[in-house]
Amino acid sequence: MSSMVFAQKSAIAGSATDSTIRAYDEIPAVIRAELNTDRDRDLLVRMRHLARKKRMRQPDITDEQMADYLALAENCENFDQWLKFRRGAVISAPSRGAVAWVLGTLAIIGVLTAGLIAAIAISVSGL
């Protein structure tokens, strides 16, 4: 009798473990490897939800296709572009505002320098 109860408990525990593993496996391993569970908790939840929905509609999807689908959901064309963005390899060009700010600062410094030179020239010529 006790072995039968043990077998039933093992079967129940096994099914719970299988469902937990299956929920974790919905996101491809290549994406899970890039995400930090503490810092990217919201992203993991969103990706897990999207992956679950996609696997219900298309159960035979490969991990590469799933990774591309999840990258597309994050506004990237494919997984490689998402990975470059994620790792900070995307080089961003300076914005117009930043360029204007730098040019304005240089102009002000130039005017102040010219004024200082003129003031020094006037004071030296007066001696």
Element (H, E) at 122: helix 96-125
Q: How far apart are CA 96 and CA 79, in angstroms?
A: 30
Question: pLDDT tens digits for 41-98?
Answer: 888 888 899 899 998 999 898 888 888 888 888 888 888 888 888 777 545 667 778 8
- 28-54 pLDDT, tens per residue? 888 877 777 777 788 888 889 989 999
The predicted model scores a pTM of: 0.48
pLDDT 10s digits, 16-28? 444 444 544 678 8
Q: Name the residue type at position 111.
A: V
Rounded-to-integer distance, Cα 112 and Cα 120, Å: 12
The answer on pLDDT for 13 being more than 60 is no
Q: For tokens 């996609």, what's the residue?
A: 54
Closest CA to 63 of 26, 109, 10: 26
Res 114 pLDDT > 90 = yes
Is the distance from CB of 63 to CB of 51 less than 8 angstroms?
Answer: no
